[in-house]
Amino acid sequence: MNPRFCRNCGAENATGNAFCQQCGSPMSEPAATQPNSVPYAPPAQPAAQQPYAAPVYAPPQYQHPPYQPASYPTQTGYGTRPVSSAKATGLIVGVFALVVAAILLVGIFLLPSKEDYSVLGLNADTNTTENDTKTTEAAAGETTAPQVNQAYGIIPDDVISRVNPTASLETYQGNYTGTVTFNSENMDLLGQLSGDTEEAEFLKSLDGTTIDCTATLGEGLDVYSDQMPTEIVGSDGNMFNLYHLQIENGISVDEYTETVDEIGLTFTQLESAHFLDDGSLYVISSMTGQTLDGMFFASELRITLRPAS
């Protein structure tokens, strides 16, 4: 047997001695090696890995909540359509965007008071510019305040006589072709009030024109025309660029009137959709407005649709 040396005093001891014969210190090496092996024992490794394993799964747990709120606005957006289907509420993309924005969004906060019409170059009594007023004064006895055509929003008698009052939406669903006719008056006034004269000029240029269109009737009526310029094509992803209306029965009419007290302006929005006995559709969407000073504006489209062959 090989001799062993005391780790305390260095004295040589015979193999098998439990204690040093010189100083009495323990000579057992297994007892000394066992403590050194404990920190490196395999159980220590899983214990060290477990704290790192938990964070690996923690991030997905915290990632889920952000996605859930993001989905709610999407569902809410789609959920608004069934609410509006209870009424015949029209959404006109482009053609009446200026009208709606000027009255509902701009009017209450930005439109001038009745006393401030002169700032816009308008005469509150005659709806003319200051230069035109001088000409008007020279023409004694002439009525200068423009009058809105009373036919706006009026349903033609030949349409009323052909309405199918028992029609259901399901029986008329499908694809259609037809025409859209535009009418407007005094868009210059609306352009000056809203500050968007370019859009007002575009609306004015459509007055009296008729264009071809296609339409799809599902849960609502979507009307499209490739003759409309790209600057008024809707960019919200909906499958229409001209007109959208929620309707649910054979005679669907919704009329809304509001007064903007700040400038004494009263405007009326009318949406009217009719299912006719020959399977065709007739739709009117119009907005008219009048101030207490006798200033008028009006804009309207009439859509005639027949089943696509």
Whether residues 53 and 185 fall in one domain: no
The single residue listed with the structure tokens 């809410």 is: 76
Q: For the segment 217-233, what is each residue's pLDDT rounded down to a tens digit?
A: 887 788 888 877 654 44
Whether residues 35 and 130 fall in one domain: no
What pLDDT does residue 262 have?
67
- Answer yes or no: is 75 within a domain: no
- Answer yes or no: is 249 within a domain: yes
Domain around 19: 1-65
Whether residues 123 and 48 fall in one domain: no
Where does a domain end: 65, 84, 116?
Answer: 65
d(CA 300, CA 285): 6
- Asked if residue 271 has pLDDT above 80, the reply is yes
- Answer yes or no: is 77 within a domain: no
Q: What is the mean pLDDT of residues 92-97?
A: 38
> What pTM was estimated for this model as a whole?
0.53
- Answer yes or no: is 71 within a domain: no
Q: For the segment 22-61, what is each residue's pLDDT rounded down to a tens digit?
A: 787 777 654 444 444 444 444 444 444 444 433 333 333 3
Residue type, 49: Q
- Answer yes or no: is 36 within a domain: yes
8 A C-beta contact, residue 83 and residue 224? no
Whether residues 145 and 205 fall in one domain: yes
Which of the residue ranges 122-126, 147-151, 200-204, 244-248 has the most confident prediction, judged by mean pLDDT? 200-204
- Asked if residue 195 has pLDDT above 60, the reply is yes
Whether residues 60 and 108 fall in one domain: no
Whether residues 236 and 157 fall in one domain: yes
Q: Between 77 and 42, where is the model more confident?
A: 42
Whether residues 38 and 175 fall in one domain: no
- Answer yes or no: is 72 within a domain: no
Domain count, the chain: 2
Whether residues 148 and 112 fall in one domain: yes
- Answer yes or no: is 228 within a domain: yes
Report how far apart, in Å, the C-alpha atoms of 241 and of each of 38, 52, 166 are.
76, 55, 30
What pLDDT does residue 281 have?
94
- Asked if residue 106 has pLDDT above 90, the reply is no
Mean confidence (pLDDT) of the chain: 63
The single residue listed with the structure tokens 């069934």 is: 82
8 A C-beta contact, residue 307 and residue 184? no
The kind and range of the H/E element at 286 are strand 281-291
Tell me which of 159-168, 198-207, 277-286 is least confident. Answer: 198-207
What pLDDT does residue 2 have?
58
Whether residues 53 and 98 fall in one domain: no
Where does a domain end: 65, 100, 117?
Answer: 65
What pLDDT does residue 279 have?
94
Residue 204: pLDDT band (50, 70, 90) is confident
Whether residues 131 and 275 fall in one domain: yes
Whether residues 272 and 175 fall in one domain: yes
- Answer yes or no: is 80 within a domain: no
What pLDDT does residue 134 have?
36
Q: For the segment 108-157, what is each residue's pLDDT rounded down to a tens digit?
A: 333 333 333 333 333 334 333 333 433 334 344 443 444 444 578 888 89
Whether residues 41 and 158 fall in one domain: no
What pLDDT does residue 277 have?
92
